[in-house]
Amino acid sequence: MSSLTANDRDVRSLYLDLMRRNLTRYGMHERMPAQWPLRRRLFFKTMNRMLVRTHAHRLADATPDGLPQPIVRRKRDLGLDWPAEAETMIGMQRLTSLQRCVETVLADDIPGDLVECGVWRGGACILMRAVLAAYGDEKRCVWVADSFQGLPRPDAAKYKADKWMRGDLFSGILGVPETEVRANFERYGLLDDQVRFLPGWFKDTLPDAPIDRVAVLRLDGDLYESNIQPLDALYPRLSPGGFCIIDDYHVLEPCRQAVTDYRAKHGISAEIVDIDGIGVLWRK
């Protein structure tokens, strides 16, 4: 890294910036795919209207230079809508934070792989693979863990916090087949041996996953069970100095509850740092 010129560094950050912009379709106009059934298109429209209404105060924020931003960009800044085409729904701020986490573990030589549990179209994992490529890391893997069929039907008998969650409702939207996620990696030229897939329910795939150590653990499974199961299985493998990232901590109560329970049970007191008013992280 020390032999890089200033120009190399600029090119690298320009590449990663372009990746983030493209993965979120930042400021771009998306069309709902014409082949989607009308029901799905209407569902997206309704969900997005609801999200905008719920988070109107955040969308009204001004930019640091005091100018209001166009609403489309603000939505993608905070990951507040469900994109029709973009490969991730987590928005620019959480993507940028994820990039910084990966860059930090590389710079500090924190051992371990990069894992996301709950990947949807794969965009956040694609960015993690792009960071490894940009820094010439050929040792670490990106683990892509998902059912590839959406959320499980909530098991309220076992996980009370999931009582009001209707995972089955979203299976058509949140269930993205593995072939499609692989094709998304392929489109960016980033599908190779450093990308490993763990298809199936977390409770079945994570406890015996062949992952030795983890440097970045990103959880984005929405339900209590989809946060507590990855924490139980993978947090013990997170290296000291590694990052634990929780998407939706501030907006989904079951998700926050799982994190609170896990941290209390294991006496974790590392400070929880807010990312964008939605996601959080802490460093082990």
Ligand X SMILES: C[S@@+](CC[C@H](N)C(=O)[O-])C[C@H]1O[C@@H](n2cnc3c(N)ncnc32)[C@H](O)[C@@H]1O
Binding-site ranges for ligand X (CB under 6 A): 88-90, 118-120, 123-124, 146-147, 150-152, 174-175, 201-202, 220-223, 225-226
- Residue for token pair 């800044």: 77
Give the integer Cα–Cα distance in Å for 250 and 142. 26
CB 112 within 8 A of CB 214: yes
Min dist. Cβ of residue 19 to ligand X (A) = 13
Nearer to ligand X, 99 or 226 (CB): 226
Nearer to ligand X, 111 or 257 (CB): 257
Rounded to 5 degrees, φ, ψ at 227 are -105, -40
Q: Is the dihedral of CA 151, 260, 250, 92 positive or negative?
A: negative
**Cα angle value 145/149/154 (rounded, 5°):** 90
Min dist. Cβ of residue 256 to ligand X (A) = 15
Nearer to ligand X, 118 or 242 (CB): 118
Nearer to ligand X, 148 or 194 (CB): 148
Min dist. Cβ of residue 109 to ligand X (A) = 26
Min dist. Cβ of residue 204 to ligand X (A) = 8
CB 224 within 8 A of CB 255: yes
Q: Is the dihedral of CA 149, 196, 187, 31 positive or negative?
A: positive
Longest dimension (CA), the chain: 58
Closest CA to 24 of 80, 99, 68, 83: 83
Nearer to ligand X, 105 or 165 (CB): 165
Q: Round the CA-based radius of gyration of the chain to a whole number and report it.
A: 18
The Cβ of residue 187 has, within 10 Å, a number of other Cβ atoms equal to: 12
Nearer to ligand X, 110 or 181 (CB): 181
Give the integer Cα–Cα distance in Å for 19 and 42. 29
Min dist. Cβ of residue 156 to ligand X (A) = 14
Q: Is 96 helix (H, G, I), strand (E, B) or coil?
A: helix
Min dist. Cβ of residue 240 to ligand X (A) = 25
Nearer to ligand X, 124 or 281 (CB): 124
Min dist. Cβ of residue 201 to ligand X (A) = 4
Closest CA to 97 of 78, 113, 120: 78
